[in-house]
Structure 1
Amino acid sequence: MFNDIILPVLILTGIGLAAGIMLALASKFMSVPVNEKLEQVRGCLPGVNCGVCGYAGCDQYAKAIVEDGAKTNRCVPGGDETSRKISEVLGVAYQDVEEKVAFVACKGYCDVTSDKMDYQGIQTCRAASQLFGGETSCGYGCLGYGDCAQACPSHAIDVVNGVAVVRPEKCIGCSICVKVCPKSLISVYPLTKPIHVSCRNKDKGAKTRKVCTNGCIACRKCVSVCPTEAVKVEDNLAYIDPEKCISCGKCMEVCPVHVIDHFHPTCESR
């Protein structure tokens, strides 16, 4: 009886001990060398994994910096502080980050537009947009369910009067909100280029006015006053080229529907 109990215990103990020794030897002789520089650079990155740097995530960007010599200033969410830390780790010259902020191109608030139906489905922009483009009368406008706000890692977006609004002082420029908006209303621009058209309606002016009194009517007054030819009208909608724009504000002054906005980049350097 005693042997029937002790012998299996001893066998299992021996197997466990042998397995432990084998694992210890394997971890020693088969381990992959750790690149300390890579680990340090990865530790500098914020871990948002947004891909705005051009890589799939923070791990891939860190690897590109250490192994391929990628620029240290491509992490917009991390800003200048992250770029400075990476530069110190690698012992290279600091590179300034072009800070960016998200902007929602819509002013179709509840009091200037209307609903074309009573939507009772899933309360998300993605779901609502699949049913005849959503319930709002403007087929191009914000649906107001806040998919972007839910996705924002810095809580920089609020839904105000039926339209998503970005708080520049909180925005880290990660572009995650851009990816989740089913209407493609959100873009990310440099903080130094704060003037943009708050509309995406491509219908003719008369039709636009019927669904939203804040919509662009393609009158071209903004085009005529722009000193750098940064404004153009295509498909019945005004666009501002941020590369040409000098933020003089003349287009804002002449816009009859006040659809050209200045998003007031008040946030300090990150």
Structure 2
Amino acid sequence: MTGILIAAVVLGVLGLICGLLLTVANKVFEVPSNPQRDAVRACLPGANCGGCGFAGCDALADAIVELKAPISACPVGGQAVADQIAEIMGVEDLPDQVRNIATVVCQGSSVHCRDKFNYHGIQDCVAASLVNDGNRSCKYACLGLGTCVRVCQFDAIHIDPYTGIAKVDPDKCQSCGACVNACPKNVLSLQPETVPVRLLCRAAEEGFLVSDNCKIGCIGCEHCANACKFGAITMVNHLPVFDMSKCVGCMMCAEECPTGAIWGDFDNRQIAEIDRDLCIGCTICKRTCKFEAISGELKQVHEVNEACTGCGECAKKCPKKAINMHVRKHVRDANAKVGTTKKEYAVPKEN
């Protein structure tokens, strides 16, 4: 019994001595923290998703303070976190961030895109893609086995039970890019949330090959490029590439697309409205309109017809600010344009 007590006392004394030594070492070798860095780290959400390009939130905080990363580098925190960090770093007039969301660049459901064979292997897109490039007839199509779902920390993506392809919840998406990196088919990409049009196909093949595999794929017909009157679309590898700095949101590309491969935000499509009290009949709006949607004579009040695409160019040019843009209540009528005789025009497709 005495031996046990002696051993306990010795161990206790040794523990006390080691504790004192560790305390002294901690004080002697302490690395002073950077209060600014600690404040920046406190603002970051702590998801450690890697969407910023750094190993985690600690690494990003270090990089921001060392001016090796932009203040708005955190995609999860968004504008709110960027504003807090800007205040800490003493940055004024921080431009508003354009929020990106994961976008599924495929509409190849089982209705539109057939299967080449029945896949009975591991329920993982990476594994399935190794078997004859996947079981879908289009080699660019979403395989729908949920690899993206499993890597998402925010429950922002799931496989639609009706279409069998991935679907993103934009309200939950934190723009971390984990799903984009995990997809073996590159079906997912980070795109600005508020763009008026999107290409929902990446089949870089000739039209007849695409149409054989998918009913709703891009066939490279160039209708969209020809319909765009602002030079915002160029064709690269049989696919349209959008220059969003030139896009004015007229959505004519989506309206003219024969297969529905281009999505247009038709629910928010705008129409111009001329304030009759302010209009002086200068005809600038009429001459500016590329769609013959404005009529009126010199020194007379002008009118906008239902052919208006909502591009807003007339409102920008009006010297009296007499033109306002608002969301239209009816589907655009191409037959309403000035001097048009009745003929067929493409009707906006519902995607």
The structural deviation recorded for 1:264 is 8.5
Q: Which has the higher helix share?
A: 1
Identify the residue that residue 248 of structure 1 maps to in structure 2.
250
**Deviation larger for 164-173 or 35-44:** 164-173
Relative to structure 1, is the Cα distance of residues 157 and 6 closer, same or farther in structure 2, using a 3 angstrom cutoff?
A: closer
Q: What CA distance in whole angstroms lies between the structure 1 residues aligned with 2:265 and 2:189?
A: 12
Relative to structure 1, is the Cα distance of residues 54 and 229 closer, same or farther in structure 2, using a 3 angstrom cutoff?
A: farther
Contact 1:168 1:265 survives alignment (8 Å): no
Relative to structure 1, is the Cα distance of residues 65 and 23 closer, same or farther in structure 2, using a 3 angstrom cutoff?
A: same
Alignment of 1:197-208 (within 5 A): 197-208=199-210
The structural deviation recorded for 1:69 is 7.0
Identify the residue that residue 13 of structure 1 maps to in structure 2.
12
Look up the equivalent residue of 2:77 and give its one-letter code: G
Relative to structure 1, is the Cα distance of residues 228 and 61 closer, same or farther in structure 2, using a 3 angstrom cutoff?
A: farther
The structural deviation recorded for 1:144 is 0.7
Contact 1:201 1:215 survives alignment (8 Å): yes
The structural deviation recorded for 1:91 is 4.0
The percent identity for this pair of structures is: 39
The structural deviation recorded for 1:6 is 4.0
3-state DSSP of counterpart to 1:189: strand
Q: What CA distance in whole angstroms lies between the structure 2 residues aligned with 1:51 and 1:74?
A: 11
RMSD: 2.3
Identify the residue that residue 27 of structure 2 maps to in structure 1.
28
Contact 1:113 1:137 survives alignment (8 Å): yes
Q: Could you tell me the TM-score, scaled by structure 1's length?
A: 0.88
Relative to structure 1, is the Cα distance of residues 94 and 147 closer, same or farther in structure 2, using a 3 angstrom cutoff?
A: farther
Q: Number of residue pairs matched?
A: 265
Which whole-Å deviations, capped at 9, do the CAs of 1:111-157 have from their partners, x for residues lacking one?
A: 11111111111111111111111111111100011222222233222
Contact 1:101 1:172 survives alignment (8 Å): yes
Q: Could you tell me the TM-score, scaled by structure 2's length?
A: 0.69
Q: What CA distance in whole angstroms lies between the structure 2 residues aligned with 1:264 and 1:47?
A: 38
Larger RCO, structure (CA 8 Å, separation 6 or more): 1
Look up the equivalent residue of 2:12 and give its one-letter code: T
User: Which segments of 5 or more consecutive residues in structure 2 lack a partner in the other structure?
Assistant: 269-351
Identify the residue that residue 43 of structure 2 maps to in structure 1.
44
The structural deviation recorded for 1:70 is 4.3
| Match for residue 165 of structure 2 among 163, 166, 173 | 163
**Deviation larger for 90-99 or 193-202:** 90-99
Contact 2:103 2:188 survives alignment (8 Å): yes
Identify the residue that residue 275 of structure 2 maps to in structure 1.
none
Larger radius of gyration: 2
**Deviation larger for 255-264 or 76-85:** 255-264
Identify the residue that residue 127 of structure 1 maps to in structure 2.
127
Relative to structure 1, is the Cα distance of residues 142 and 69 closer, same or farther in structure 2, using a 3 angstrom cutoff?
A: closer
Look up the equivalent residue of 2:211 and give its one-letter code: R
Q: What CA distance in whole angstroms lies between the structure 2 residues aligned with 1:243 and 1:168?
A: 23
**Deviation larger for 107-116 or 48-57:** 48-57
Identify the residue that residue 227 of structure 1 maps to in structure 2.
229
The structural deviation recorded for 1:108 is 0.3
Alignment of 1:1-270 (within 5 A): 2=2, 4-68=3-67, 70-93=69-92, 95=94, 96-160=96-160, 161-262=163-264
Q: What CA distance in whole angstroms lies between the structure 1 residues aligned with 2:83 and 2:10?
A: 58
**Deviation larger for 78-87 or 239-248:** 239-248
Q: What CA distance in whole angstroms lies between the structure 2 residues aligned with 1:149 and 1:265?
A: 28
Identify the residue that residue 272 of structure 2 maps to in structure 1.
none
Contact 1:230 1:245 survives alignment (8 Å): yes
The structural deviation recorded for 1:88 is 3.1
Relative to structure 1, is the Cα distance of residues 189 and 5 closer, same or farther in structure 2, using a 3 angstrom cutoff?
A: closer
3-state DSSP of counterpart to 1:76: coil
Q: What CA distance in whole angstroms lies between the structure 1 residues aligned with 2:7 and 2:158?
A: 65
The structural deviation recorded for 1:159 is 1.7
